[in-house]
Amino acid sequence: KSPRNGGKKVATIRITRAPYQERILDMPDDHFEREGGRFLWPGGITEFKIMMGLDKVSWVIEFELVEVK
């Protein structure tokens, strides 16, 4: 949530790679795991890809956690 809408800073991150687009079909299993997919989609990555749409494209922003407030 943006600070102008009442959001509070909870951490500082560092972008580690330029943002890029990736088709859901091409999403590696480790991206699914790192994003908490196992908890959100108990049926696994195959169910996720089918429900999201195989040809759908999403933005990927890779980052590292620098500091937690």
Q: What span, in angstroms and rounded, lies between the C-alpha atoms of 67 and 69? A: 6
How many CA atoms, within 13 angstroms, populate the side-chain half-sphere of residue 1?
7
The Cα angle at residue 10 between residues 45 and 6, in degrees rounded to 5: 105
What is the tens place of the pLDDT at every residue in 17-67? 999 999 888 888 787 777 777 777 777 777 777 777 778 888 999 999 999
The pTM for the full model equals: 0.66
* Helix/strand/coil for 35: coil
Distances (CA, A) of 21 to 4, 57, 59: 28, 6, 4
Residue with the bigger pLDDT between 13 and 36: it is 13
